[in-house]
Amino acid sequence: MTSTLSLTTQTIELAELGGDSPLPSVQSMLEPPYTVGSDIPEEIAAGVRWGMASNLFPYSMQENYGRETSATELTAVVLENGHVKATFLPQLGGRLWSLADKASGKELLHTQDRIQFANLALRNAWFAGGIEYNIGTRGHSPTTASPLHTAIVRTPEGQEILRMWEFDRLREVVFQIDAWLPADSKVVLAAVRVRNPNDRTVPMYWWTNAAVPQTPATRVIAPAGKAYATDYDGSMVRVDPTNFHGADCTFAVRNTQAVDFFFDIPVDGRRWEVAADDAGDGLALVSSPQLRGRKLFVWGEGAGGRRWQEWLTPTNGEPRHYAEIQAGLAQTQFEHVPMPAGASWQWVEAYGNAALDPALAAGDWDAAVAHGAERVEALVPAAAMDAALADAGRWADLPPSEFVVAGNGWGALERVRRLHSQADWVDEAGTPFGDETLTADQAPWLELLRVNEGIVEKPFEATAAEVPSQPFGGAGSFVRGVDWEDLLTAGRNSSAEAVYHHAVMVHARASGSESDLAVVVSLYRRALEETFAGEPLGVRSRALAHRGLGLALLAAGDVPGGLAESAVACTLEPANRNLLVEAMTLALDNAQPDLALGLLNGADESLASLGRVRYLQARALADTGDTAAAAAMLKEGIEVPDLREGANSLSDLWARVCPGEPVPAEYQFTMH
């Protein structure tokens, strides 16, 4: 029996992602205040309290997508032998999109021929299906809808490996995923390595998220008698998942609302989780011990859960429901794990058909767990996982043999930055961040380093407009770090643009204290009020400086001043959808609906038809007392492509302006 790795393409109906938001992500992430019950171990409670990122800076948001799709050809990498066929999509976060089991003839993953983005990821855009790799902080990864650096590695033993890697800008670590399929294996193997080149401990987060088909009989089994449950109200309690609210909720369909179950697997237990259908078939997610956590997520069988699945996996026929089984570094997804300075962590994951006896899988829990353990050991013995981990360690730094897809240029810039500041960096032998990946996004920052040290040669073709001369000419992208701030504040680089970018960096790392906010406000005002060598801020930077000043003033309690600055930003860039949506939202959240409507009236008329803008307009009309106009808009139909997970904004607005009328199914997104 042989195993092959082949490059091909796959055509998928794909929504247009749209360009990244130009607004720097300095605002706090929307996270509920998590609380843990008295029966939650201190280890978990401590992990919940520590390590959450305050914002996503320097990443930009991906929120400019719509609901229209078109046939799009994507690069695909296929691993195949006589037992399984696995298809990866490197351009979409390295997603393992399909895993076909040849013995049963079944697809083990929830997959589809249409990808629709929705607001569930850290950067907003996310899509359902396949196996997803998440790093950084709680939520779907910043790279989940972006290309990863991808190459083929050929080992001395003749094994072909699919390698995908990237620099995570949030935690400033490098991660790589090596996937391979031995000739006689019934499982696809994936080795994950995370390296922390920093001189400090960083909070680390990793969860592998597998979407699996949810049938009426689907049961998820893991070697634990208890689980930690959360149901999207910010609380966590220890429960028996086989008797949760009076039901055995390890059967996915028996959950009435969205819920997470984090299985409490003994520390010395083997790490696995399986999903079994009425024939006992389904995905086994197995790993080496480093991945401690196992999770079951269901949308629930309420109207909102069904609506979310229709929203995420639209089909022309019957909706196809799914659940998720997941594996992570911590016991729950609310925790971060301390990763020491200079540390390198590696583990192996295996994916294949558990092929359980259906009667045992659906029967007594303890018997089902014991049977699952036997079938997992038969599918991929613990000794085989140990051997795979040893192989992965030997292969991790082998250089790529053939490049497939280029990721972004931020890893290459980071290498240059660390050379400039004489900081440690990773060995790039196996995960090169080539100069050819640098683009105009990195060009201004590369030039800033070059003019200050003269050690950086321009490694790519760029026009004079793309590479500004000194003093600092500005950038449409953002970076973070004290060394960058030092360069921007050096006298030779002085410019209004340098002051503006310094203000953004300080804003992003500010604690929210009165003194910190005062510094941020003064920096934005300095950038707006002064000229340097006769040059004021450009229009885009001026608009964003007013926006940043507005956010800082609002955080400091100056609501009128903050909203006024936000309005000025919209006036400067009337066609900027991101500025308009944020400004209208801030106005409404601060009880200023007339201001929200005024902002819309002053905006480019093309923005009025956007679903998010129409919702905000209807909300503003309702807040001014014109409920009839708001109701008319809702009854005409409002579709908000980037509706946030857990948000009940549409149904709540309907209840306000159409009292006594049942909420239409298309507005039902409530998760509990």
3-state secondary structure 7-57: EEEEEEEEECCCCCCCCCCCCCCCCCCCEECCCCCHHHHHHHHCCCCCCCC
**In the predicted structure, residue 186 carries a pLDDT above the cut 70:** yes
Q: Phi then psi for 634, rounded to 5 degrees?
A: -65, -40
Compute the mean pLDDT over every residue in the chain, rounded to the nearest whole number.
Answer: 94
Render pLDDT for 531-569 as a digit per residue (tens, 0 to 9). Answer: 776 788 999 999 999 999 999 999 999 999 999 999 999
pLDDT score of 33: 58
**In the predicted structure, residue 58 carries a pLDDT above the cut 80:** yes
Alpha carbons 120 and 144: distance in angstroms, whole number? 11
Residues of the chain with CATH 2.70.98.10: 4-402
For the beta carbon of residue 516, count every other beta carbon within 10 angstroms: 17
3-state secondary structure of 316: coil
For 539, the enclosing helix (H) or strand (E) is helix 539-555
Mean pLDDT calculated for residue range 190-217: 97
Alpha carbons 320 and 327: distance in angstroms, whole number? 23
Alpha carbons 49 and 265: distance in angstroms, whole number? 22
Q: Is 4-402 CATH 2.40.50.140? A: no
Strand order of the β-sheet with 187-195 is 219-221, 271-276, 283-287, 344-353, 187-195, 173-180, 160-168, 149-154, 402-405
Tokens of 351: 């994916």
Residue 358's Cα: distance from chain center in Å? 35
Render pLDDT for 268-296 as a digit per residue (tens, 0 to 9). Answer: 989 999 999 999 999 999 999 999 999 99
- Crossing angle of helices 577-589 and 611-623, in 10° steps, is 20
Alpha carbons 570 and 531: distance in angstroms, whole number? 22
- Crossing angle of helices 627-636 and 649-657, in 10° steps, is 130
Alpha carbons 349 and 189: distance in angstroms, whole number? 6
Preceding amide of 659 cis, omega within 30: no
Instruction: Report long-range pairs for 70-74 (Cβ below 8 Å, ≥24 apart).
Output: 70/13, 70/14, 70/16, 71/11, 71/12, 71/13, 71/14, 72/11, 72/12, 72/13, 72/14, 73/9, 73/10, 73/11, 74/9, 74/10, 74/11, 74/12, 74/14
Mean pLDDT calculated for residue range 498-507: 97
Q: pLDDT confidence of 315, banded at 50, 70, 90?
A: confident
